[in-house]
Structure 1
Amino acid sequence: MLSTVQAKLLIVDDLPENLLALEALIRREDRIVYKALSADEALSLLLQHEFALAILDVQMPGMNGFELAELMRGTEKTKNIPIVFVSAAGRELNYAFKGYESGAVDFLHKPLDVHAVKSKVNVFVDLYRQSKAMKHQVEALEQSRREQEALLKQLQNTQNELEQAVRMRDDFMSIVAHEVRTPLNGLILETQLRRMHLARDNAAAFTLDKMHAMVDRDERQIKSLIRLIEDMLDVSRIRTGKLSIRPSRFDLVQLVNNLLQNFAPQVEAAESSVTLTAEQPVVGNWDEFRIEQVISNLLTNALRYGAKSQIDVRVYNQHGQAWVEVQDCGIGISEENQQRIFQQFERVSAKAVVAGLGLGLFISEQIVAAHGGSITVESRIGEGALFRVCLPLQENSPINATSE
């Protein structure tokens, strides 16, 4: 509403009685009238307030009204304020012409016509309010434009994220289908082969040694399926903040040593070798199952991408922290890929067909972070990769333990 805009009026005259008379004439509830007895006093008020109109007496001691108007027109803050001159001098002095030259919008002669003064002031106050209202509308439109641009950018980002999510979902489903099919195909073929031997009453196919081999093959395939399912469940737990961390006191060196013994068949199958360097026990409070999961992921990747090279594992403590390093001499990881391998469904090689869901490093990083530690990688293409896991050694270190 225009009427809600408060209008400020400035009247300048060296005679107090003239100021009081003019103030009584133009004052209203929706206006504030400021009075000045000199040009210097008027300038001070002009710098403090925004006025809808200035009514200046021409003849004043010191700086007269014309000089004050010229100063107002030369100042950025006051150059657009409408000026009305008032003078008691006769028309023959041609003050009106000089006033218009000074930038006035009107010139009034004393004695003032009450109706004319009220009418002119009303016009300039209405123009001021309309100008303010238009300015507010422009600002509102500009604010709306900025908000729309921000919303559009947000929608574009959301669309990009959704498109990325769809691509990740499709890639994930493709990877899952491939990874699940591999052990299932093995189990199906084994089952079909046994059914064929049974149909032919071929008892020789079920000797004790052959049964042991069958069970071992089945167990490997089943474990592979279980691992895939556990990885997917861990991702779900991480997303919902329900990744279970149950700390207990154990020796990290002993855990790694036992793990390497269990990895012996995989190491042999990969035509690789593993060395462990650990000069003393490294004991701390961590979740043994989860830390084993992390190191297993690192060893699996080292065997997968190590190009049949030697893998060096080192366990030590330094500066109140436990360190586990796994280094291979394989294909290496580009700097660009180093930034994304800890994300979901990312795998080191996009050119070669590799096993796994691309979740191992993502899950490992989340597990280590839940222990208050960190996991980093150093690598160059063709020069292998070095993964470092850092875990706090303090017994009372904060651990984000949650229950499933």
Structure 2
Amino acid sequence: MTSSDIDTLRPLLQKMPAAMWAADGDLRVTFAFGRSLADLGMQSIVGKTIDEVFGVRALAGSGVIDHHRIALQGQRQLFRYDFRGRRYDLLVDPVQGVDGEVNGCVGVAMDVTELRDTELRLANEVWLVEARSLARIGSWSWDETNDSFSWSDEMYGIFGVPTEEGAPPASLLAFVHPDDVGYVQASVRRAQRGGAPFTFEYRICRPDGLVRTLHARGQRIHGSMQSSRVVGTCWDVTDLGTASSWPERSAALLRAALEATADGILVVNRRGDVVTYNQRFLELWRIPTDIAERSDNAALIRFVKSQLIEPDSFTSLVRENHADPEGEYYYVLHFLDGRVYERCARPHRVGTEVLGRVLSFRDVTEREHLLAQAQHAVRQRDEFLSIAAHEIRGPITSIRLAVQHLQRIPRTSESVPKVLEIIEREQRRLVSFVDELLDLGRIRAVGLHFEIHTVDLTEVVREVTSRMASDLARAGSTLVLRDDEKVIGQWDRLRLDQVVTNLLSNAIKFGNGKPIEIEVLSSEGRASLSVRDHGIGVAPEMRERIFQPFERGVSVRNYGGLGLGLYIVRTIAETLGGTVNVENHPGGGAIFKVDLPLARGA
């Protein structure tokens, strides 16, 4: 290209929306044109080398000079760089002479800043659409002027409408839950009047029957030529609402479970400070509300300790628990008023971290009492079996010895009647033991059987005393009987006989050979029977216990018997509607009194 050609093209090249330059084999600029030269700071560069043009500028670090040198080697260079906030695409081509050798290069720089911004904007829009699709965020537009409605593809999925149905519905109100229609209409009207952005939540009824909650945001936009539209977005927040309320619902569930348990629960942190407790804990320990609400640990412990039999032991256990936060402890607390609680302490862990301790308290008072009763019953049973074996062995031994004696002596011996009397007496003892055991079984199973007839209590007493005359004689006790001529009532004769027999046997056993007094009276529709001895009496603390099965007022070693006689007496008296009790007589000994109604139901 000649200089005249360049002069001809110069006006056109100067208007070119780029920068163009040429350099010879020494990289000295031979010409430069274009509107972008000024933007690049390349005015008046003709005659300067590329090093002089670019080497002292910020472009030096971008490799511009190196690209020119590579172009002189015959390789086209295409690259991009930023300068003064603008972006340029550069092309540097080698220039060949007539001999085919590279003797220079020509460069073109095109400002692509707007193109770059457009590409980024388009990419961002694509990403935004993708993000909205992934997040299921739908967008919609309502043209108020034409009363037309449009929405994005995401809205089909949100509203449960098949995409093959094509156009969106004429109005969103077709899907709004009936209870929320008025609220949605009012929200849109407020947006129309004020023009400010709006946000609200409402429910929709989808075609598949699901009810979902949507969060909507939007704004009224004024367009040209008096047109306006309301645009907005919405997304399904049903699951988000459920997830956000999960901690609250979980806490409520835990609190309900805490309050529903029959145990008292106390939670403390690593320092022993109270974190929480349930109402049952306050009830078990009878803690006043003012102490509980103060959260004063010292006051709480003082109040608790004051109720225990061994407060110092309790304090030591608490300290031991705090010193070993990962240990599990179980022990029983005994209260001054007889209560018994189980205390269980376990670590409160979150993962591997121990945050404190959970203590549970259970009232086992009734269980402990039942256990004590069961243990007492077992001891009574064992003692009873031992006593029964001893008591039964005695008569059997006496009978066996008497029989052996009869076998050795002539039948005409004077001792025969006496030996037969021994056999008969021991046989009565065995029968009495068996009857008492049978009665005990009946009482505990279905109760004693009674046959009610008209009975004279005075006559029954006289028969028993006559039958037991030999027992009185052997004991050395005399009998004084004071009675009304007839005391007649509606009773079971056999059971009355048992009552009198057991009370008289008891008086003989504990009367120390002293006189025994029996009194039978009737007055105001009731009969009374009293049996008094002058023996050892009954200790005050035993006056109720001796009427329980297997109980005795004295040691079994000194006085025999199964310990059932007085229990059977009370059972018979109470079944007949009466009572029995014992008192110590001022003159010594004990007096047993039985009171019975003369008529049934009186």
**CA deviation vs aligned residue, 1:80-101 (integer Å, no higher than 9, x gap):** xxxxxxxxxxxxxxxxxxxxxx
Of 273, 292, 311 in structure 1, the residue corresponding to residue 516 of structure 2 is: 311
Provide the rounded CA distance (Å) in 1 between the counterparts of 2:475 and 2:469.
10
Aligned to 2:379: 167
Provide the rounded CA distance (Å) in 2 between the counterparts of 1:126 and 1:160.
48
Aligned to 2:14: none
Of 292, 298, 303 in structure 1, the residue corresponding to residue 503 of structure 2 is: 298
Aligned pairs, number: 301
| SS at structure 2 position matched to 1:316 | strand
Which protein shows a greater Rg? Answer: 2
How much has 1:268 moved relative to structure 2? 1.7
* Contact persistence 1:272–1:308 (CA under 8 A): yes
1:28 to 1:241, Cα distance in 2 relative to 1, 3 A: farther
Provide the rounded CA distance (Å) in 2 between the counterparts of 1:209 and 1:133.
93
How much has 1:222 moved relative to structure 2? 0.9
* Contact persistence 1:25–1:118 (CA under 8 A): no
Higher relative contact order (CA 8 A, sep 6+): 1
Q: How does 1:125-204 map to 2 (within 5 A)?
A: 125-140=245-260, 143=263, 155-197=367-409, 203=410
* Contact persistence 1:334–1:380 (CA under 8 A): no
* Contact persistence 2:502–2:565 (CA under 8 A): yes
| SS at structure 2 position matched to 1:325 | strand
2:448 paired with 1:236? no
1:121 to 1:250, Cα distance in 2 relative to 1, 3 A: closer
Provide the rounded CA distance (Å) in 1 between the counterparts of 2:235 and 2:408.
117
Q: How does 1:388-399 map to 2 (within 5 A)?
A: 388-394=593-599, 396-397=600-601
Aligned to 1:325: 530
Q: Which runs of 5+ in 1 are unaligned?
A: 1-15, 32-111, 198-202, 399-404
Provide the rounded CA distance (Å) in 1 between the counterparts of 2:204 and 2:251.
20
1:281 to 1:357, Cα distance in 2 relative to 1, 3 A: same
**CA deviation vs aligned residue, 1:348-389 (integer Å, no higher than 9, x gap):** 212751121111001111111221111111127983111111
Q: How does 1:117-128 map to 2 (within 5 A)?
A: 125-128=245-248
How much has 1:280 moved relative to structure 2? 3.8
Report sequence identity in percent. Answer: 30
Aligned to 1:25: 201
Aligned to 1:90: none
* Contact persistence 1:315–1:325 (CA under 8 A): yes
Q: Which has the higher helix share?
A: 1
Aligned to 2:493: 288
Q: How does 1:226-375 map to 2 (within 5 A)?
A: 226-350=431-555, 353-375=558-580
How much has 1:182 moved relative to structure 2? 1.1
* Contact persistence 2:450–2:492 (CA under 8 A): yes
Provide the rounded CA distance (Å) in 2 between the counterparts of 1:299 and 1:143.
53
**CA deviation vs aligned residue, 1:43-73 (integer Å, no higher than 9, x gap):** xxxxxxxxxxxxxxxxxxxxxxxxxxxxxxx
1:114 to 1:347, Cα distance in 2 relative to 1, 3 A: same
Provide the rounded CA distance (Å) in 1 between the counterparts of 2:438 and 2:415.
35
One-letter code aligned to 2:201: L
* Contact persistence 2:484–2:522 (CA under 8 A): no
Q: How does 1:40-79 map to 2 (within 5 A)?
A: none
* Contact persistence 2:457–2:486 (CA under 8 A): yes
| SS at structure 2 position matched to 1:376 | strand
1:26 to 1:244, Cα distance in 2 relative to 1, 3 A: same
* Contact persistence 1:330–1:382 (CA under 8 A): no
| SS at structure 2 position matched to 1:221 | helix
One-letter code aligned to 2:550: F
How much has 1:138 moved relative to structure 2? 2.6
How much has 1:306 moved relative to structure 2? 1.4
**CA deviation vs aligned residue, 1:21-46 (integer Å, no higher than 9, x gap):** 999725699x9xxxxxxxxxxxxxxx
How much has 1:323 moved relative to structure 2? 0.7
* Contact persistence 2:458–2:487 (CA under 8 A): yes
Provide the rounded CA distance (Å) in 1 between the counterparts of 2:469 and 2:246.
91
Provide the rounded CA distance (Å) in 2 between the counterparts of 1:23 and 1:379.
93
**CA deviation vs aligned residue, 1:145-197 (integer Å, no higher than 9, x gap):** 78996685555444333322221111011111111111111112122223344
Aligned to 1:70: none
1:115 to 1:357, Cα distance in 2 relative to 1, 3 A: same
* Contact persistence 1:345–1:357 (CA under 8 A): yes
1:159 to 1:23, Cα distance in 2 relative to 1, 3 A: farther
1:149 to 1:233, Cα distance in 2 relative to 1, 3 A: farther
How much has 1:134 moved relative to structure 2? 2.4
How much has 1:298 moved relative to structure 2? 0.6
One-letter code aligned to 2:502: N
One-letter code aligned to 1:165: A
* Contact persistence 2:262–2:362 (CA under 8 A): no
One-letter code aligned to 2:584: S
- TM-score, with structure 1 as normaliser: 0.64
1:117 to 1:211, Cα distance in 2 relative to 1, 3 A: closer
Provide the rounded CA distance (Å) in 2 between the counterparts of 1:122 and 1:184.
85
1:253 to 1:144, Cα distance in 2 relative to 1, 3 A: same
1:144 to 1:212, Cα distance in 2 relative to 1, 3 A: same
How much has 1:120 moved relative to structure 2? 8.8
Over the residues paired in the alignment, what is the CA RMSD in angstroms?
A: 4.0
One-letter code aligned to 1:131: A
Provide the rounded CA distance (Å) in 2 between the counterparts of 1:238 and 1:387.
22
| SS at structure 1 position matched to 2:490 | strand
| SS at structure 1 position matched to 2:463 | helix
| SS at structure 2 position matched to 1:212 | helix
Provide the rounded CA distance (Å) in 2 between the counterparts of 1:156 and 1:356.
31
Provide the rounded CA distance (Å) in 2 between the counterparts of 1:191 and 1:157.
50
* Contact persistence 1:334–1:381 (CA under 8 A): no
